[in-house]
Amino acid sequence: MDKVELPPALAEAASSFSRYLTGERARSAHTVRAYLSDLGSLLEHAAAEGARELAEIELGTLRRWLGAQSEAGISRSTLARRSATARTFTAWALREELIETDPALRLKAPKVEGSLPGVLQQQQLVRLLTELNEAAQDGSPMALRNRAMVELLYATGLRVGELAGLDIDDLDPDRRTLRVLGKGNKERTVPYGLPAALAVDDWLRRGRTKLVAAGSGPALFLGVRGGRVDQRQVRSVVKGLFEALGDTAATGPHALRHSAATHLLDGGADLRAVQEILGHSSLATTQIYTHVSVDRLRKSYQQAHPRA
């Protein structure tokens, strides 16, 4: 569909919704962009059908919008996300008294088949971290930084954005914990182990001091020019490391987060403790996000079943 110019009422509603997301809901810039992209698609579809006011958007409008995208080959996960965006938007519009009834109340999203990012086996992580240790022996600031970032990602299960946003003062080296600001501006405290502590300390002593610049501020991890490292740089580093392993389907930092959660559960960690570490608001999210390995399942069966 060619891009449709939105009528003034729909354009103003989109602008107000954007202010709501960034203000009251305190959504991240990435989340706001995704919401507004989905909403733009919906409003353009509605305008193409002749809608000029929000009240003219009906359940049928929403269903035809999703149906057209499904026919265009949009994935079920994206359709589910866009359906959620529509429900969030119309619920907001109802509270703001921009509409009298919520057309999305009976809108059903396609069920998303659960998929998990690649999980590294512990021996793969040993190889990866050993290579990072060897690379850091020459004292290269980038090598020291990369080792510290990966050690910390695996030790804590942080999201890549959370890692990039860390400041030096967020670390408590004595207790080996860090303070992290997660989704929805929710703060949590996460522990990390000795290898990560040593790698971070080495980076601070021998690496960061060589890169720090006037604009570095309190950022824990820096780029080559001294600015705060960004998510793209972290993803690029991790992607290269996984490609070098050559025997994993893992592609990005999220696999380290998932690996950390999986290995915690395999080691006997309580599911609610893992939920707290990962910063999930719902235990159901943790249950979907993590899985029980075959080894752990077999061990539980052998311990519990009388005929094992």
Question: Would residue 257 show up in a list of annotated catalytic residues for this protein?
Answer: yes
User: Choosing from 147, 208, 263, 280, which is the catalytic residue?
Assistant: 280
Helix ranges restricted to H, the chain = 8-22, 29-48, 59-71, 76-95, 122-136, 141-156, 160-164, 194-202, 208-211, 231-245, 253-266, 271-278, 283-289, 294-304
- Residue 49 CB contacts under 8 Å (≥ 6 apart), including other chains: 61, 64
Catalytic residue among 45, 147, 159, 263: 159
Residue 254 catalytic?
yes
Spot the catalytic one: 289, 291, 298, 307.
Answer: 289
The sign of the torsion formed by the CA atoms of 55, 60, 63, 64 equals negative
Catalytic residue among 25, 81, 87, 183: 183
Beta bridge partners of residue 222, listed in sequence order: 228
Provide the residue type at 46 as one letter: A
Question: In terms of Cα–Cα distance, which of 40, 36, 35, 33 is closest to 6?
Answer: 40
Identified catalytic residue from 145, 228, 254, 263: 254
What are the structure tokens assigned to 26, written together? Answer: 């305190």
One of 45, 257, 258, 263 is an active-site residue; which one? 257
Tokens of 196: 């990560």
Q: Phi and psi (nearest 5°) for 111?
A: -70, 140
Catalytic annotation on 159? yes
Structure tokens at 107: 């809108």
- Residues belonging to the active site: 159, 183, 254, 257, 280, 289
